[in-house]
Homo-oligomer: A and B are copies of this chain.
Amino acid sequence: MEIVFVLFDRITALDAVGPYEVLQRLPGATVKFAAKEPGEYRTDKGFLALVADHALRDVPRPDILVVPGGFGTRELVEDEEVLHYVRGAHEHTTWTTSVCSGSLVLGAAGLLRGLDATSHWTELETLRQYGATPTLQRVVTQGKVVTAAGVSAGIDMALDLTARIAGDDVAQLIQLGIEYDPQPPFDSGSPAKAPKEIVERYRALLAARS
């Protein structure tokens, strides 16, 4: 089972590494990190580089495709080479997935037309321009297309996918292996749950940097 993660500059590292840590433990999984060209791809502030060992053109037929998010998706949604790759890979996948604003790339590739989908909560409305119906759910499964909400949601998405692919017991084993017994100190992880002033402050900070 070949699992391809798409890398690009200004990626959000946890979008990729969360599901990676789950899916790489699937029995028989081979994981390939790929980008337009092999090399190092950096997170938004440049602090961390992840390495793409492969060029996208060399991994055309993944069983599972994972498109992470990050500010770099703003360029990706206009990058015909990447969109062409995503479209072609999708013809062969068992599962085509995204985390966070990675869903905008699936959308730009034309894969979300008529589907429910999710994204980082600040990008939900953007999904409409690709013909998708935004839903504030953590994981949205539509046929073989699975979109996850922002950043950390990729972990839940990958566990859900693992259960579908390999059964509940394997998903539970992996959850135990990564000791995923979340105990966040606050209940501030979604715009529906966070204090209203925190949500407004986040929007203001985002607007200031955009």
A55 within 8 A of B: no
User: Hey, which bits of chain A sit against chain B, CB under 8 A?
Assistant: 12-14, 17-18, 20-21, 24, 30-33, 40, 43, 45, 47-51, 53, 100, 120-121, 138-139, 149-153, 155-156, 159-160, 163, 168-169, 171-173, 175-191, 193-195, 198-199, 201-202, 205
Query: Are B155 and A175 closer than 8 Å at their CB atoms?
Result: no
Which residues on the B side are within 8 Å of A51 (C-beta)? 40, 48-51
Which residues on the B side are within 8 Å of A40 (C-beta)? 51
Query: Are B24 and A17 closer than 8 Å at their CB atoms?
Result: no
List the number of copies, as a whole number.
2
Residue of B nearest to A139 (CB): B183
In Å, the complex CA distance between A86 and B184 comes to 28
Query: Are A150 and B121 closer than 8 Å at their CB atoms?
Result: no
Residue of B nearest to A190 (CB): B181
A120-B199 in contact given A47-B24, A156-B185, A205-B173 (Cβ < 8 Å): no
Query: Are B53 and A33 closer than 8 Å at their CB atoms?
Result: no
